[in-house]
Chain A
Amino acid sequence: MTYVTHADLGGRLGLGPVIPERDEPLFHAPWEKRALALTLAMGATGAWNIDQSRAAREQQPGYLGMSYYEVWTGGLERLVTDRGLVTEADLAAGHAVDPARILPRLLTADQVPAVLARGGPTEREATGHARFAVGDRVRTATMPAPQGHTRLPRYVQGKTGTITHRHGVHVFADINATGAGEAPEWLYTVRFDGRELFGTEGDPASSVSVDAWDSYLSPA
């Protein structure tokens, strides 16, 4: 089954100007802060990883019409129901009617500061040499029919750029999102000229850099 993401927006035309909100509040409604906290607390249980949560959010068909906390709420509902942690009957009733499952961890209030301070570092010990060095020219993969979550945006697929940073070996999002393990790989920053990405419409005095895992790259 082809994987459909609605979140890959880089370079898309026709979405209008950016409209900053003057004196924007941190939250626009009380439910937004609860949605944030529920997402973080459930993320800390170990029931899924961050790449699985991004995959759940980006597959929602109504994505473009949702506010970002609506995206998070829908993603959270999908994550808990996909795993049987919450059932459709629970959601329909608005309270728990089916029994709970056992989760790896519970985030308690006293643990919050330490858990936030630790975060979720993704760097892992390198077990092999990096294939590319800073200054190398590389070409990105193309994914005409993605089979799952990926962090290589369409606007940089099949493009040639230059390695500017090596970040060590990091959990590979595309595999981690499937639940098949961390599959860590060398991670690089690759810089592309604006014209390479967008042709004559691109800004000749601008560049765009993305962070790209080894699997996305081949020598140019």
Chain B
Amino acid sequence: MTDHDHHDHHHHDDHDHDHSELSPMDARVRALETILVAKGYVDPAALDVLIETYETKVGPHNGARVVAKSWVDPAYRARLLADATAAVAELGFAGRQGEHLVAVENTPDTHNMVVCTLCSCYPWPVLGLPPVWYKSAPYRAKAVRDPRGVLADFGVTLPAGKAVKVWDSTAEIRYLVLPERPAGTEGWDEARLAALVSRDSMIGTGLARSPEAVA
């Protein structure tokens, strides 16, 4: 555990000691934090709250609740497809990097996949922080040119005739994929269904899990 894992800010005064074990990036970011705090630009307590928010509150479990509700509640699904920002806010999810949400639905004919070829745009309020591969050069390069090849990299094969719609997040619109509801889940409630909704299924590099996969 490093000083930064503590919530005791007195440790921040100790940055000059014991640099021998720090990686170059550790040292660089610590120096930057030390300078920004000393100049009064950032409140160290705010940094801890920001980290805690994305470690514990905001993540793909939020999006999974949205998708599960869309599977059992046709009126909610209709609202979600008409105005995802408002429908997602009904469940209490809103804000940074999800100010303007659009939900796109997978159907027997169509599969959707979301990318940001220019940086790392991602619907934070419903999915949390993006995984490394989403921000990586290979994904950003390949998703638009060869989406079926990307799916193969994830071990997913679509039926031959299925169309793939790729959404490149080039402005401040953020996209959430609604995966197809797996077969064999008739009568399941929302909480049980939510466990089938993987993060990747809401990006479009995966499908929802089958009931057997979570049995």
Contacts and interface: CB of A to CB of B under 8 A. Distances in A.
Nearest to A86: B35
A54 B97 CA distance: 14
B28 A73 contact: yes
B46 A109 contact: yes
A151 B118 contact: yes
Contacts, number: 287
A198 B35 contact: no
Interface of B: 2, 4-5, 15-16, 23, 25-36, 38-43, 45-51, 53-55, 94-100, 102, 115, 117-120, 128-129, 131-133, 135-150, 153-154, 161-173, 200, 205
Contact of B25 (A73, A95, A155): A73
Interface residues on A, range: 35 or more
Interface of A: 7-13, 15-21, 24, 26, 28-31, 33-38, 40-42, 45, 47, 54, 57-58, 64, 67-70, 73, 76-77, 80, 85-86, 90-91, 94-96, 100-101, 103, 106-109, 111-113, 115-123, 151-153, 155-156, 165, 167, 170-171, 173, 187, 189, 191, 197-198, 201-203, 205-213
B151 to A, nearest CB: 10
Given A26-B129, A96-B34, A173-B171, 13 more contacts: A10-B117, A11-B144, A17-B138, A29-B26, A30-B4, A31-B26, A31-B30, A36-B51, A38-B36, A115-B96, A119-B99, A122-B100, A203-B164
Contacts of B141: 9-13, 15
A95 B99 contact: no
A41 B168 contact: no
A54 B51 CA distance: 21
